[in-house]
Structure 1
């Protein structure tokens, strides 16, 4: 799975929903709404996706493999037990791989983290399954997990599949 492709598809689906909503609200066809509100639509979609686009650019621009960790904010009173339980596994990967891997942590309640969660985990679900962790190399999502702790050895299995020149 390519992160840019997932983001682009998600953004286009959102754009189409905006066009449909504008058309219905103003008794227009989708084509008429797109023509009449083109600048508004593009600005609205760009503004909505700017935080997640910046995060995706950071992930894709990394010269090292990325271990992405989308979790609940550590400072919230209602702590995520799975997020907390998975942290030692991520710490173990950080200790073992140090500068050869980039660990990016974002929280699910921020615009970038929440959007990226839905882009990667595009399953219809009433409840978020946290944490969402993923191994990403040069924009390719090699594997992701949602709603469970993942043993460090499992992360390592995917990291080891990445050619050394990428690490």
Structure 2
């Protein structure tokens, strides 16, 4: 799963959803549209209305969508800046009144990874109160077969490398050994070995 592709597909789907909603609103407010609907199939009518709305409000919708995904795109850009494997963690904001026990149980596992790998891998943390947290829903919606495990609950943790989501887990603490299984993939190992050589020099 390519992270940028997942975001792009989710963004496009959201844009189409907004256009459909606007088209439906326009249909109900225009009596002429209601009269003509008897002359066309509902599918053709819906498509025509959506095209008309896109033509009329396209720029406004585009700006709205761009603003909506601004936080997510910033997070993705930061993740892609890492030239090494990244462990992404999306969890409950510690300042929130609602406590996430699973997040608390998972955090020591992340700290253990930090101890084991140091700066050989990157860590990127997102709190659920931030706009970037929408990445949680994007990963769940676009998760490929075998790439994701767990219920749709916090926290969500993932191993990402070269823009590819190697694996993600949600709604449960993840053991260090599970992370290492994906951090020790051949392409990740190449980066880890390179980092070690650079340190030795």
TM over 0.5: yes
Q: What is the root-mean-square deviation of aligned Cα atoms in Å?
A: 1.6
Q: 1:24 corresponds to which residue?
A: 24
Structure 1 residue 49 displacement after superposition? 0.6
Matched-pair contact (CA < 8 Å) for 1:80–1:130: yes
Q: 1:6 corresponds to which residue?
A: 6
TM-score of the two chains, using structure 2 as the length reference: 0.77
Rounded Cα–Cα distance in structure 1 between residues aligned with 2:90 and 2:188: 25
Which of the numbers 58, 74, 84 marks the counterpart of 1:54?
Answer: 74
Rounded Cα–Cα distance in structure 1 between residues aligned with 2:115 and 2:109: 10
Q: Unaligned regions of 5+ residues in structure 2, if any?
A: 28-32, 34-48, 143-150, 193-201
Which of the numbers 130, 134, 143 marks the counterpart of 2:154?
Answer: 130
Structure 1 residue 20 displacement after superposition? 0.7
Q: 1:119 corresponds to which residue?
A: 138
Which of the numbers 41, 46, 60 marks the counterpart of 1:40?
Answer: 60
Q: 2:98 corresponds to which residue?
A: 78
Question: How many residue pairs are counted as aligned between the two chains?
Answer: 163
Runs of at least 4 residues off by over 3 Å: 162-165
Which of the numbers 134, 146, 152 marks the counterpart of 2:170?
Answer: 146
Matched-pair contact (CA < 8 Å) for 1:61–1:138: no
Rounded Cα–Cα distance in structure 2 between residues aligned with 1:38 and 1:160: 45
Rounded Cα–Cα distance in structure 1 between residues aligned with 2:94 and 2:180: 25
Which of the numbers 142, 158, 161 marks the counterpart of 2:182?
Answer: 158
Matched-pair contact (CA < 8 Å) for 1:72–1:130: yes
Q: Deviations over 1:48-96 (max 9, x none)?
A: 1111011011112211111000000112232111100011110000011
Higher helix share: 2
Q: Any idea what SS the aligned residue of 1:121 has?
A: helix
CA separation of 1:163 and 1:128: change in aligned 2, threshold 3 A: closer
Q: Unaligned regions of 5+ residues in structure 1, if any?
A: none
Q: 2:108 corresponds to which residue?
A: 88
Radius of gyration: which is bigger? 2
Rounded Cα–Cα distance in structure 2 between residues aligned with 1:94 and 1:24: 50
Structure 1 residue 142 displacement after superposition? 0.3
